[in-house]
Amino acid sequence: MSMIKSEEYFKKGILFDGLEHGKMHPTDIDAMVELKGKAYYFVELKREGNDIRTGQKILFERLCDDLYKAGKEAYAILAHHDWLCEDYNGDIRLKDCVIDKVYYPESRAWVEAAQIMTVKQFDQMIFERYGNGE
């Protein structure tokens, strides 16, 4: 069962032209999860070997820092995709993408993944910590 309600609209691009202010312009967030108001994580997905752009990096850091200052746990994840993450249609399965770096606001640092971890494994770890109970 797909979580996408409208395949037709899902496949349409969103154009940000006309919203630029010098070097500043809108960006998208590939995925975000909120767990009962306790914790948040954001995912930026890139092709293997590509890094996050400076503006996106600043955005994710500020989002996480502001949530952390408000007493919430927050993480930004940079993950990559390759052919192993694709299904038979060529669509990317986020859960199978491998994490490259995680931003931790308490240390204000992006930390390289110490071991191979998929987005699904990170999600399970965070859900076990913050998603159960009230």
| Residue 40 falls inside a structural domain | yes
Region of 30 (left: φ > 0; alpha: ψ -120 to 50; beta: rest) is: alpha
pLDDT class of 28 with cuts at 50, 70, 90: confident
pLDDT, mean of residues 49-55: 89
Q: What confidence score (pLDDT) does residue 60 get?
A: 97
pLDDT, mean of residues 72-96: 85
Q: Give pTM, 2 decimals.
A: 0.85
Burial 82-94 (b: 16+ CB within 10 A, else e): eeebeeeeeebeb
Token pair for residue 35? 């767990």
CATH code, 69: 3.40.1350
Provide the residue range defining the domain that includes 53.
Answer: 28-131
| Residue 18 falls inside a structural domain | no
pLDDT, mean of residues 74-88: 84
Q: For 116-130, what is each residue's pLDDT tens digit? A: 999 999 999 999 998
| Residue 42 falls inside a structural domain | yes
The count of structural domains within the chain is 1
Q: What confidence score (pLDDT) does residue 13 get?
A: 77
| Residue 11 falls inside a structural domain | no
| Residue 13 falls inside a structural domain | no
